[in-house]
Chains A and B, each alone.
Chain A
């Protein structure tokens, strides 16, 4: 069975924007080596949670621990250096960069040479550079992109751009990968492809936390899940039982008696 050690612990996290609590006292845990689904209706606070974990926002209250270390008041680049990488809900690739350059940029943390040595072009730095380039090429293959290395990312299809983002996030060899709706705008076959990739990555030792709307995908590919609604925890545990939970059903589809009443009015 998989490791049951907790790699990410979220304890009573609150995030206020003005008077509104986007995340309202959320507590959950992600096991090392698992694929963890973070689900909930629109506006539940899922993306805010991802932004809190990566340090783009800081919690108003509560604490987040990664690998036993507190992420409190840490800058995004320091959190990335601890081994957390992410993708974005609305693809955020760098304009003007080729697919390969995007992924190379993702390799920044694992470049293995100082900026100055790389500027001087010392033999060691050159070797490291071409190693990173090889790795970046490999990552593009890994996410299923061939013959796209030299193409400007903005000229590629939406699905391809999403996969470049995943490759870019893998560039730093993270321990925890946060995927914010990796299958948005993809058809079933493409989404299943992403699900398989996520499993492969997990089997290679990576922990994945993914925001996902596709319930079929969550039950098929997630080991655990956390369901949020209005910033609060609604349910936690294995995906099947979470989705069967009446509170979750209500949040997604409305209450049964309401549906019956509407039916009766027709």
Chain B
């Protein structure tokens, strides 16, 4: 029993970070599932993170209010980003989103009143694992409902072929705009979750590092199902920790190797709904052939 408790004490922070990363990955998945590769989750997370941190530190707001406001902040930022970005071709959009991440850091560094500047912000309150779980479960529930709705169907159509989708009456712009809003709301929540897990944030917190982790989590877990982002984030967070315990020398490259292996052998990620359909078809073919024989 004692060993179990020790294990939990040692790894509860890994679990917390896995949940934060899952939120980040879901925010990325929200746009990726409509065919938009965007790193702007980092920007939405920064808005949500600094906003909620200030609300709690300066105004003494409870987390139950700060988190929803972080979501609203992220959503508003997303509406502005979507308005500007959706005019661009997809590959330029990815590049523009990266540029926006760079700009956000500079702006954050130069607005110490809002962000603490180079000194960062110390956050007096910590989010508990239970609270994080509630947020993640609620967000997962939203993605579950979306995937089984008209929006989910339209999103898949737009991702696969926007021109064909448009001739069926689906507006790619509208679908992708909604996707950005969802990405912003979830990104804002993820930023707040990160802030209250780390208890110290600075402009460096919301930078390229998380951009890499969230994209990698989504690709690793599978970008064709929302659950893939959660699985991917869990693996990506646990992997370096596990590696450190087993082969410390490989800790730094473990993520990179995992990503390469997945991209080469499972390009559609661990959770792939299409693969099941292909297997079923293959089985049916074999059955039909053996019947004929």
Contacts and interface: CB of A to CB of B under 8 A. Distances in A.
Interface in B255-293: 273-274, 277-278, 280-281
Contacts of B171: 75, 77
B131 interface: no
Contacts of B280: 151-152
A108 B170 contact: yes
Contacts of A118: 149-151
Contacts of A108: 150, 153-154, 157, 168-170
A168 interface: yes
A151 B168 contact: no
Interface size bucket, B side?
20 to 34
A76 B153 contact: no
B168 A56 contact: no
B281 A151 contact: yes
Interface stretch (A8-16, A97-105, A224-232): A97-105
A199 interface: no
Interface stretch (A29-37, A78-86, A181-189, A245-253): A78-86
A92 B167 CA distance: 12
B58 to A, nearest CB: 35
Residue of A54, A79, A85, A95 with most partner-chain B CB within 10 A:
A95
Contacts of B278: 152, 155
Nearest to B150: A118
A155 B281 contact: yes
B126 interface: no
Interface residues of A, number: 39
B178 interface: yes
B151 A115 contact: yes
Contacts of A105: 153-154, 156-157, 165, 168, 170
Given A75-B171, A77-B169, A119-B149, A152 B277 contact: yes
B167 A56 contact: yes
A100 to B, nearest CB: 11
Interface string A55-86: 11000000000000000000111011100011
Contact of B167 (A80, A101, A111, A115): A80
A172 B150 CA distance: 14
Contacts of A98: 277
A113 interface: yes
B224 A172 contact: no
7 contacts: A55-B166, A77-B168, A95-B274, A101-B156, A108-B153, A109-B169, A115-B149
Interface of B: 145-146, 149-151, 153-154, 156-157, 160-161, 163-171, 178, 224, 273-274, 277-278, 280-281
